[in-house]
Amino acid sequence: MSDTTRETDEPTVDQTPAQRQSPDQRPSADGGRPPDRTQGADQHWKVVPAPVREPADTRRMGLRTAMAINAGKWAASLSQRLGLGSGGMIGGRLALTLQPDLLQRLATGRRVVMVTGTNGKTTTTQMVAEALRAKAPAVSNATGANMLDGHVAALLTQLDAPFAALEVDELHLAQVTERFEPSAILLLNLSRDQLDRVGEVRTVAASLQRALTQAPGAQVIANRDDPNIVFAAAGHPHVTWVSGGVRWRDDALNCPQCGAFIGDVDRDWRCQCGLARPPADWKVTDTGVLDSEGTHHELALALPGHVNRVNATFALAAALQLGGEEAPVLARVRRISQAAGRYDTVRLGGRRVRLLLAKNPASWLEMLDLVSSNDEPLVLVVNSREADGYDVSWLWDVDFEMLRGRPVQVAGDRALDLAVRLRYAGVRASVASTVEVALGGTEGGLPDVIANYTAFRDLHTRSRT
């Protein structure tokens, strides 16, 4: 190896966020100062896409970085060949061990979109990736490996792709923005989830707020209907606000800044401390979305439900921000019919079933609302393993009462806890030892199977074997 290819002491990465100009010093696209994005001000968002930079030339990488990349690719490929998984974690973990600053090196020269929130991350990330591919190649952590090793593994898959759409765990966004500044950050929602691992919603909101202060130049696309997201994003200089309405309200009744009671978050609330619901740049409708100029954009998605129109709006806003054109972007998003198995029709126990994911009260509300429009057989599955969170007290926060009059089969590690909750909700439920046994107790139609995280993952894996 010649001296010209050896690693230098200083990494060849962009400046850290702290070294960049402050937002007040950075000129806007028209040469003046950035627009005032204070609470309550009239906001007129327009797309001013930045140029796409070329990714770093891998031939000029140092020996250590090249070794880390090759080792990561090899580990991921071996994991896939041995049937141990997609390699979405092991490859990135090994590569990071060999080169700790590999994430920022791989991100250099790319336009990276980070997607975070309690619910909808995987689906929205797939939509963003497809939307960006209407302009140029894009990589994504499609398997849901949403921490740093998963991000590295995704970026390793195509070193010359100019775009990346990366799902990130809510508590790990700050670790990402310490390392590099994404082009865009999507903040979907916050609600209680895995309380024994993650903690209370306000803890997560404070972590997101800290992450955004480390990325002052990123374009933030945020949910204006969630007070916790408004708290996290309101102080950022570049925010596009999306309005999709509020379904789950129990984690948004009190101000995350001062604790005062807000009440009805569907209205234009303003807390006594000054935190307020900002004007919307995008408004989701029953069929599509209205932009800030009042133009209606038809979505016509293959994925069902209002929640996916909200997800698609975030993806559309991100793609346009990064220079995409509406028609090809929407054409790609409309073709998505499942996301990492979510909403997919698969075979289980000799039956064709629709597989749905619900992992906390907010997502259960959306999925129960989705299946309430039909009378197909219904199977509910709940586990409580490490990835789910061991605490299942959240079952009592879910409005299972909407299932009254409809026979339900239940299965999973915590099937008995679920059956007790359904009994108190006035829902007739039968407990089965497995999902396959539960499906055997149903007749006709296309059953809906709603499962929480590890139950969904196991069922999706079994459906492919």
Closest among 225, 271, 282, 272 to 249, alpha carbons compared = 225
Tell whether 415 is in a known binding site.
no
How far apart are the C-alpha atoms of 16 and 92, rounded to whole Å?
A: 22
How far apart are the C-alpha atoms of 282 and 278, rounded to whole Å?
A: 12
Tell whether 258 is in a known binding site.
yes
Tell whether 273 is in a known binding site.
yes
Question: Helix 90-98 vs helix 63-81: angle between axes, to the nearest 10 degrees?
Answer: 160
Closest among 343, 330, 336, 326 to 302, alpha carbons compared = 336
**Could you give all domains of the chain from N- to C-terminal order, each with its CATH number?**
48-334 (3.40.1190.10), 345-463 (3.90.190.20)
| CB distance 141 to 153 below 8 Å | yes
Contacts 24+ apart (CB under 8 A), 124-127: 124/167, 124/186, 124/188, 124/311, 124/314, 124/315, 125/165, 125/166, 125/167, 126/165, 126/336, 126/339, 126/340, 127/311, 127/312, 127/314, 127/315, 127/333, 127/336, 127/339
Question: Helix 306-321 vs helix 326-334: angle between axes, to the nearest 10 degrees?
Answer: 140
Question: Helix 306-321 vs helix 121-133: angle between axes, to the nearest 10 degrees?
Answer: 40
| CB distance 143 to 340 below 8 Å | yes
Question: Helix 63-81 vs helix 148-156: angle between axes, to the nearest 10 degrees?
Answer: 90
CA-CA-CA-CA torsion sign (100, 106, 112, 115): negative
Closest among 369, 347, 350, 352 to 445, alpha carbons compared = 352
Place of tokens 């010209």: 4
Total residues belonging to the chain: 465
Digits of tens for pLDDT over the chain (465 positions)? 433 333 333 334 344 444 444 334 433 333 343 444 444 444 444 444 444 444 445 445 688 888 889 888 888 888 778 777 766 678 889 999 999 999 999 999 999 999 999 999 999 999 999 999 999 999 999 877 899 999 999 999 999 999 999 999 999 999 999 999 999 999 999 988 766 555 688 999 999 999 999 999 999 999 999 999 999 999 999 999 999 988 887 888 889 999 899 877 777 888 999 999 999 999 999 989 999 889 999 999 999 999 999 999 999 999 999 999 999 999 999 999 999 889 999 999 889 999 999 999 999 999 999 998 888 999 999 999 988 888 899 999 999 999 998 889 999 999 999 999 999 999 999 999 999 999 988 888 899 999 999 999 999 988 877
Give, for 68, the enclosing helix (H) or strand (E). helix 63-81
Reported pTM: 0.83
Alpha carbon distances (Å) from 335 to 7, 243, 300, 304, 400: 44, 23, 10, 12, 32
How far apart are the C-alpha atoms of 349 and 92, rounded to whole Å?
A: 35
Q: In this structure, what token pair is assigned to residue 431?
A: 């407990």
Q: In this structure, what token pair is assigned to residue 14?
A: 């962009």
Amino acid letter, residue 109: G
82 exposed, middle or buried (CB, 10 Å; 0-12, 13-18, 19+)?
exposed
Q: Which are the catalytic amino acids?
A: 391
